[in-house]
């Protein structure tokens, strides 16, 4: 198998790793792509990024009140 972040995965396609990647594991190599997009355009002064491990996505919330979401204008 292949090892990532201290965890052993079987050969073949891995739909989702613990760190939110989709991977292909072969005896020669492991290649992965992230399952999430990173917000790049948002109010960085008043908002912050919080990674949601369950959904494999970033939430952008107000620093002063994390229960309120902020608008996001671009992701990569």
Confidence band, pLDDT 50/70/90 cuts, at residue 62: very high
Confidence band, pLDDT 50/70/90 cuts, at residue 69: very high
Task: Domains for the chain: give ranges and CATH numbers.
Answer: 2-34 (no CATH), 39-75 (2.20.25.590)
| pLDDT for the residue 1 | 92
Give yes or no for a contact between 4 and 33, defined as CB atoms under 8 angstroms apart: no
Partners of residue 21 on adjacent β-strands: 34
**Distance in angstroms (rounded) separating the CA atoms of residues 52 and 20:** 10
For 35-49, the DSSP string reads S---EEEE-TTTEEE
The pTM of the full predicted model, rounded to 2 decimals, is 0.74
Q: Which stretch of 2-6, 22-26, 58-62, 66-70 has the lowest confidence by average pLDDT? A: 2-6
**Which tens digit of pLDDT belongs to each residue from 9-49?**
999 999 999 999 999 999 999 999 999 999 999 999 999 99
């Amino acid at each position: 198998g292949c090892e990532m972040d201290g965890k052993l995965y079987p050969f073949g396609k891995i739909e989702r790793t613990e760190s939110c990647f989709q991977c292909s594991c072969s005896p020669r190599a492991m290649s992965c792509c992230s399952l999430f997009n990173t917000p790049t355009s948002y109010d960085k002064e008043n908002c912050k990024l919080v990674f949601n491990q369950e959904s494999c996505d970033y939430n952008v919330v107000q620093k002063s009140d994390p229960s309120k979401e902020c608008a996001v204008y671009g992701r990569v």
